[in-house]
Amino acid sequence: MADSKYLVGVFDDGDELLHAVEDIRHQGVKIHEAYTPFAVHGLDRALGYSFPRMGVAAFLFGLTGTCCALLLTFWTMGVDWPINIGGKNFFPFPTNVPIMFELTVLLAAFGMSFTFFFMEDMGPTAKPIIFDVRSTDDKFVVAIDLAKNKLSETEISKLLKESGASEVNVKEV
Amino acid sequence: MAHSTHEIPSTEERFEFKSETKRNLIIAALIGVAMVAIGSFLLSKGWSIGVWESHGGEHAAAGHEAAGHAEHGGEHGTTLFARIIANIWMNSVYFLGISVVGAFFIAYNYIAKAGWSSSIKRVAEAMPSFVIVPGVILIILMALPSTRHIVMHWTHDGIMDPASEHYDKIIAGKAWYLNLPFYFVRLIAYVVVWYFGWKTIRKYSLLEDEMGGLENYYKGRNASKLFMVFFAVTASTSAWDLSMVIDTHWFSTMFGWYHLASWHVAGLATMMLAILLLKDQGYLSIVNESHLHDLGKFIFGFSVFWTYVWFSQYLLIFYANLPEETIYFRERFTGFQGRYWWPFHISLLLNFLFPFLILMARNSKRRATFLKLGSVSVIIGHWFDFYQMHMPGIAKDQGGIGIIEWGTTLTFASLFIYFVANELSKANLYPKNHPFLEESMHHDI
């Protein structure tokens, strides 16, 4: 792995981090990612993230489930091996609804989970980069990839300090 | 945005119920009454403007072949009067539900210690003020023998008397529950306890505005718990008493859920529509996209829940295929010349398919246009739901959708809006000393 150098700003408070993120992004600094011990409201917007279109994926996975279920029941009950149950039609629609419902939920749930793991690089082999272990305890951390920024290390460090960072560390990965 | 939420907006906001609006609502209610009169007159002359209507008892005999227990109802014959009574009964039950769901909403939000809903609390709080009107109408309809015989088949004379020619063994077996004294106790208990339960919660909420502090919040929460215990039972029993016993022979163990789900989602949609209309007039500035999103999720979720319960009930009956159970759906599909087929299926379309698709996406739950479409669809859809619950049993072969239906609904809706708007204007639009109001202002999802 090519060595990359990150600048890690450590904040004591979620609000400070939020405003710092807004400020330094305003100065044209590109932020790699922010790490917080709990969800900070508005941080996703401050970081400029667009809303994930997971819902679209879920809908498509669900639709796949519905169609698969319909196909499955239609083929097994209606075509391949029709069984007379209570004198009903071989392919009565209402009896298929529970199966359609179940497969819709199943495929939507699995599909969403796996999409999420894939998109967020959270698979079993993924190696997380811990910028600062205290971000799981009481510190709010923002990581900046120096290679992707035009500003120099000292300039960004100064910006971070100005916007309230209690310490600024350098982390080489 | 994070910065702007630190500026706390004014929580002093009062809804002004203009005398002009009052006058218009009263006129609308009167127009509704006039429409019922005109519609009845036209029908009695044999002129039909509505759909699925038949002329004055022409098909009276034909309708009975599908109606399982028509042998008793048939003797009395269903008349135009039955259709009017059916309309009043149906709209009373529907609007009673929409109203009481306001108290239900407040109660479960208190019990869950939900913070987000406190900014829209007053809208829900105003709704149950209407409980008393349909409640009293239902009691009157049951108190008068001429109307109660039309609505409730089991109240006919001699139906529980083995010596009588009208004796019906199945109905007689239900006499321990379906007898007039006990029925009146229940019916009056629903109306009174729901109304005064809401009054108590409301009283503490209004006291909180004046006094501040947490005392009234805790009292309101305790009142909510008591209300909820009572409502948990009565939501089911009222479903049986107001809707299920109309088809006296038939019963479904899912009916309580189904009925409550129908009431609940219609009530939530009404709440949403009221909030959006208030926002359009410049009120409720604290209510932001996130509140609408949460309430939209409620509507979406409970419209699916309604479908789930409805379908569970349907599927069991479909699977078992027992004649005494399937008659209920047969009456709605092919019975009475198939006149209830359309209302039945429209209800599914408007209550499930349309809101399901239109409110599914996140962005549509945050936009007033989509929410309005969804809410209106749910409100109309559940009107059809109650229509198909009540009409086949009461109006039988006289059912239809015409001027009478529009008129009755217009009257009830105008009165409902009048009562709710009046109650809304009595207090600040925000519970300004509510402990969670601050949290609700910053609600962000």
Helix axes B215-242, B255-280, angle to 10 degrees: 130
CA A32-A37-A40 angle, to 5 degrees, is 75
pLDDT band at B9 (very low <50, low <70, confident <90, very high): low
pLDDT at res. B77: 53
Distance of CA B2 to the CA centre of its chain: 40
ipTM above 0.85? no
Q: Which residue of chain A comes nearest to B443, CA vs CA?
A: A41
What is the number of other CB atoms lying within 10 angstroms of the CB of residue A142?
29
Backbone angles phi, psi at A169, to 5 degrees: -115, 165
CB distance from A63 to chain B under 8 Å? no
**Mean pLDDT for the stretch of residues B348-377:** 94
pLDDT at B149 over 60: yes
- For all residues of chain A together, what is the average pLDDT? 89
* Strand A140-145 with A167-172, pairing: unpaired
pLDDT at res. A62: 95
Q: Do A15 and B2 touch (CB under 8 A)?
A: yes
Nearest to B395 by CA among B73, B113, B3, B161: B73
For residues B359 and B300, the answer to whether their CB atoms sit within 8 Å is yes
Report the residue from B1, B2, B314 with minimal CB separation from A94: B314
**Mean pLDDT for the stretch of residues B254-279:** 96
Choose from A97, A104, A105, A140 for mutation: most chain B CBs within 10 A: A97
pTM of the model: 0.89
pLDDT at res. A18: 92
Report the residue from A41, A55, A92 with minimal CB separation from B361: A55
pLDDT at B46 over 80: no
The C-alpha R_g of chain A, in whole angstroms, comes to 25
- For all residues of chain B together, what is the average pLDDT? 89
Nearest to A34 by CA among A4, A52, A5, A7: A7
pLDDT band at B114 (very low <50, low <70, confident <90, very high): very high
For residues B82 and B394, the answer to whether their CB atoms sit within 8 Å is yes
pLDDT band at B27 (very low <50, low <70, confident <90, very high): very high
pLDDT at B71 over 80: no
Q: Out of A84-98, B21-35, B208-222, B301-315, which region has the weakest mean confidence (pLDDT)?
A: A84-98
Burial of B373 (0-12, 13-18, 19+ CB in 10 A): middle
Q: How far apart are CA A108 and CA A123, in angstroms?
A: 19
Q: Using one digit for the tens of pLDDT, what is the confidence trace for A67-93? A: 999 999 999 988 999 988 888 888 888
Sheet holding A5-11, edge to edge: A33-35, A140-145, A5-11, A167-172
Nearest to B227 by CA among B270, B197, B272: B197
CB distance from B333 to chain A under 8 Å? no
Q: Do A41 and B444 touch (CB under 8 A)?
A: yes
Q: Which residue of chain A comes nearest to B445, CA vs CA?
A: A41
**Mean pLDDT for the stretch of residues B352-364:** 93
pLDDT at res. B8: 61
pLDDT at B397 over 90: no
**Mean pLDDT for the stretch of residues B12-20:** 90
Q: How far apart are CA B127 and CA B109, in angstroms?
A: 15
Q: Which residue of chain B comes nearest to A96, CA vs CA?
A: B315
Q: Using one digit for the tens of pLDDT, what is the confidence trace for B135-148? A: 999 999 999 998 99
In order of B64, B346, B366, B398, B428, the CA distances from B273 in angstroms are 41, 21, 13, 33, 19
pLDDT at res. B159: 86
For residues B433 and B212, the answer to whether their CB atoms sit within 8 Å is yes
CB distance from B444 to chain A under 8 Å? yes
Report the residue from A55, A59, A94 with minimal CB separation from B318: A94
For residues A151 and A16, the answer to whether their CB atoms sit within 8 Å is no
**Mean pLDDT for the stretch of residues A99-126:** 90
pLDDT at res. B74: 41
Burial of A51 (0-12, 13-18, 19+ CB in 10 A): exposed
pLDDT at res. B62: 39
pLDDT at B61 over 80: no
Amino acid at the residue B195: Y
